[in-house]
Amino acid sequence: VSGGSDRNSYLFSLNYYNQQGTIISTYQKKYALRSNTQFAIGKHIRVGENLSYTINDNPRITALSEGSLVGYAFRIAPIIPIYDIKGNYAGNFGTKLGNSLNPYATAMRTKDNKGLGNRLFGNVFADVDILSGLTLHSGFGGESYTGTYHSFQYPTYENIENTTSNKYTEGSYYGYNWTWTNTLTYHKVFKKHDAQILVGTEAFNEYDQSMEGNIQSFFSFDPNYTTLGTGSGTPVVGSLRSFQSLWSQFARLDYQYNEKYLFSATIRRDGSSKFTDENKFGYFPSVTLGWRLSQENFMKGVDWISDLKIRAGYGILGNQINLHQDNQYATFNADKNASYYDITGSNSSIAQGFRTGQIPNIQAKWEKDINTNIGFDASLFNNRWEITADYYQKNIKDLLLDPALPGTAGNGTAPYVNIAQMHTNGFDFAMTNHTNITHDLRMDATLTVTSYTNKIIKVAQGSNYFYSNDQRRFNQNFIINQVGQASGEFYGYKVAGYFNTQAEIDAADAGAKKATGDPTAVYEEKAGLGRFKYVDVNGDGQITSADRTFLGSPHPDFTYGLNLGFSYKGFDLSAFFYGSQGNKIWNNVKYWTDLYPTFDGAKSRVALYNSWRPDNLNAQAPIAEKDGYFSTTTQPTSWYVENGSYLRNKYMILGYTLSSKVLSKASIQSLRVYVQASNLFTITKYKGVDPEINSSAPASTQAIDFGVDEGSYPTTKQFIIGVNLKF
């Protein structure tokens, strides 16, 4: 419901959303209430508010991990049914059936695990015209959120690795943040000059806390019975809380002369509670210049250029989001498992002790992101063509990183320090065309292209690389961040093919003996027929850890999008296509399905029909053997790295709007019916389920660990029939 006048306006809306997930017992339910109002008080005062309240019920599952429902679904041996002959859940309790759980049983046992979140978000504001051109603005906004969740761990009986205990877990969280902004703006237009000056302050405060408890040994597993008070075990409880604040002052000048010469400059002074008093504040300037060439006299004769503007900018942004509030403090933790000790030697009592928690860094300061860009905006042929292009560079100095500490530092959490440096440059391009193909047929098309390169300049003193903490089943890291390379690159042994003959193995071993002078040397550990032959990168005649190399980057060469719109009389058709080109994906699903000796369970057609054999030398997988070796399954190799490029139709909509003449008789202002298809098709060479992988790492490392597929939640096709009706 909305309405208003030139002085007042209002909007109220209520929304209910309920969608079942692709995986059984998953869904999302959302209730949303929204209110927006604005009122004029006299001629010089305006007040308003924007407010929304949402309730979200979404029992989400994990993905991209071997222990997820998606992972179980492709790993479980296909001969295992949902139920056994007595109606109980079937599983891998037996021999040679692997360790994957029954995904249906897992889904049913977790279907009563719930989570409910509430969020109140909005702001109120007031604008006061003090003098002609001088306006005071004050806005106060923020959010308050609460949530609860609970889960129950059932004992299992059908697996080779059963869980024998039962446990109920319940938790809650609460938090809020607010931002108070006050600005004073003076705007003056005189002759050909247009100037605006803004000064202001901004305060930000955030607080959150959480509590969680669990207890074991329940008499009944009924969801209506299980609470923290009905278990007979020993309760285990814990809580967390954190807070931070920011305080900023800023000023901005915008100036243009005769709509031809544009200038803008900003200076910010930001202070964060995450730093000590000495380094609390940082200063961050920026400046932008623009020149509208199309307004110059020498361009007046160029009729095919409707508008042309070139612009350039330079600025420094501050970042402190990586830091926790404790980074500047030395903390000590009490832990029953690590810091309690029977100091009397009685074997019957323990005394509380403390161990190092956070190792402090009192010298941490703002990370600086130095940005420069140059670009242009053009409208051509009476605005039929619109082009925007930008080239930018981003240099991150004093990058906040938590490098590993020497063992003498103890077991405390390593602090973030200003030690690393990274460089990124990129190009953004957008082109739009508006064409009347015929009198009734019109086309609007927009093409966007984005390309960037990323390079690590510095990591830490005395070290030029660090591994991401992601090993999977290899027991060694396969993602590296090294100076001179992009962040998060895949790392391991490069596969040159297979050992196809014993003579080939003997020749390689002979070369190793000659190169090393060692009569016992071999080219590659556990080399054998049908096993991987690795590339000797450093040329020393042997395959060692020094031959690990860069195997590919998850960063794309470029991404692109194409938005098409057609209208013909009452019909309209729109479509959006998105693509990524040049990025690599680490297909870790192949570890489980395409390699025979890894884990018992479901094997792919590749493993069963296209493994190496003497009559199948160009196989897609190494020889099927009982055991795994250095030359097959135990090492991260280029065999897992695949082309992740794709083109996807994100959506396509066909609609028809009825004539207003027909609708006016029924007091209807407009009526449109439409059909919509989402994710209609995807073109890709990637062999996994979905090339569009968001992340494969915990939230703390998502920036450097991505592009790893361990069983992604598939993107589904969706079909919608809808009606838009306005009275």
Tokens encoding 353: 């002790």
User: Other CB atoms closer than 10 Å to residue 709's CB: what's the count?
Assistant: 24
CA distance 534 to 547: 9
Res. 701 pLDDT band, cuts 50 70 90: very low
pLDDT attached to residue 694? 65
Res. 547 pLDDT band, cuts 50 70 90: very high
User: Other CB atoms closer than 10 Å to residue 480's CB: what's the count?
Assistant: 22
Q: Mind giving me the DSSP string for 281-339? A: EEEEEEEEEEEEGGGSGGGTT-TTEEEEEEEEEEEEEEE-TT--GGGGS--EE--TTTT
pLDDT attached to residue 363? 95
Q: If DSSP codes are grouped into helix, strand and coil, which group holds residue 546?
A: helix
Lowest mean pLDDT segment, chosen from 37-51, 262-276, 470-484, 661-675: 661-675
CA distance 719 to 707: 28
The mean pLDDT value for 132-148 works out to: 97
Only one residue has tokens 């029954």, namely 102
The answer, yes or no, to whether residue 238 has pLDDT greater than 50, is yes
The answer, yes or no, to whether residue 411 has pLDDT greater than 60, is yes
C-beta of residue 92 within 8 angstroms of C-beta of residue 78: no
The answer, yes or no, to whether residue 593 has pLDDT greater than 80, is yes
Determine the distance from the C-alpha atom of residue 607 to the mean position of all C-alpha atoms in its chain, rounded to a whole number.
32
% of the chain beyond a pLDDT of 70: 98
Res. 697 pLDDT band, cuts 50 70 90: very low
C-beta of residue 712 within 8 angstroms of C-beta of residue 64: yes
63, amino acid identity: A
- For residue 405, give the DSSP letter: P
The answer, yes or no, to whether residue 341 has pLDDT greater than 90, is no
C-beta of residue 678 within 8 angstroms of C-beta of residue 651: yes
Helix/strand/coil (H/E/C) assignment for every residue in 487-500 = CCEEEEECEEEECC
pLDDT attached to residue 699? 39
% of the chain beyond a pLDDT of 90: 81
Q: Find, among 330, 323, 456, the residue nearest to 401 by Cα.
A: 323
Query: Using one digit for the tens of pLDDT, what is the confidence trace for 464-517?
Result: 998 887 888 998 899 999 999 999 999 999 999 999 999 999 999 999 999 999
C-beta of residue 105 within 8 angstroms of C-beta of residue 76: no
The mean pLDDT value for 642-648 works out to: 97
Res. 628 pLDDT band, cuts 50 70 90: very high
The answer, yes or no, to whether residue 695 has pLDDT greater than 60, is no
| Residues across the chain | 727
Res. 702 pLDDT band, cuts 50 70 90: very low
Which residues have C-beta within 8 Å of that of residue 85, sequence separation ≥ 6? none
Question: Distance of CA 656 to CAs 442, 674, 720, Å?
Answer: 15, 6, 14
Q: What share of the chain is helix, strand, coil (3-state, %, to 5)?
A: 10, 50, 40
The answer, yes or no, to whether residue 214 has pLDDT greater than 50, is yes
The answer, yes or no, to whether residue 110 has pLDDT greater than 60, is yes
CA distance 215 to 233: 6
Residues facing residue 210 across a β-bridge: 173, 240
User: Other CB atoms closer than 10 Å to residue 179's CB: what's the count?
Assistant: 17
Which residues have C-beta within 8 Å of that of residue 345, sequence separation ≥ 6? none
Which residues have C-beta within 8 Å of that of residue 57, sequence separation ≥ 6? 27, 28, 29, 30, 114, 115, 116, 117
> For the chain, what is the mean pLDDT?
93
Query: Using one digit for the tens of pLDDT, what is the confidence trace for 430-459?
Result: 999 999 999 999 999 999 999 999 999 999
Only one residue has tokens 């004050």, namely 138
Res. 713 pLDDT band, cuts 50 70 90: confident
C-beta of residue 54 within 8 angstroms of C-beta of residue 34: no
The answer, yes or no, to whether residue 678 has pLDDT greater than 80, is yes
Query: Using one digit for the tens of pLDDT, what is the confidence trace for 244-258?
Result: 999 999 999 999 999
The mean pLDDT value for 186-214 works out to: 96
The answer, yes or no, to whether residue 605 has pLDDT greater than 60, is yes
pLDDT attached to residue 249? 98
The answer, yes or no, to whether residue 407 has pLDDT greater than 90, is no
Supply the pTM of this predicted model. 0.91
CA distance 549 to 527: 20
The mean pLDDT value for 54-81 works out to: 90
Q: Find, among 404, 243, 321, the residue nearest to 703 by Cα.
A: 321
Lowest mean pLDDT segment, chosen from 198-212, 691-705, 712-726: 691-705
Res. 700 pLDDT band, cuts 50 70 90: very low
The answer, yes or no, to whether residue 548 has pLDDT greater than 70, is yes
Tokens encoding 118: 């509430």
Pairing of strands 670-678, 682-684: unpaired
